[in-house]
Amino acid sequence: MSTAIYSRKSDPLNLTDTIRTFRRRLNRLAHHFLASLKVARERRELLRLDERALNDIGIRRSDAHQEAMRGFWDIPENRKTCG
């Protein structure tokens, strides 16, 4: 019984790089999705703050409401990276 050894030379379709690229893109998508959920949760929490807390952070109630109504996919660029 012979065991085939997988190598780049025996990979005419370059599947190794294709799989690596797919995994990298899937990982980025997962991080973006998780960041979107986190930002959406923070926006909902913003609505629960009372007037005093909103004043402390310099946000009006109408601004908090407008921010909370943004779509979960609408996140700032600096929040899209994992970390």
Long-range contacts, 72-75 (Cβ 8 Å, 24+)? 72/36, 72/37, 72/39, 72/40, 73/36, 75/32, 75/35, 75/36, 75/39
Q: Does the pLDDT of residue 42 top 60, yes or no? A: yes
Rounded to the nearest 10°, the torsion over CA 44, 50, 56, 60 is 70
Tokens representing residue 73 in the block: 């996919």
Q: According to the model, what pLDDT value does residue 77 have?
A: 81
Mean pLDDT of 65-79: 86
Q: According to the model, what pLDDT value does residue 11 have?
A: 65
Q: According to the model, what pLDDT value does residue 72 have?
A: 81
Mean pLDDT of 28-41: 91
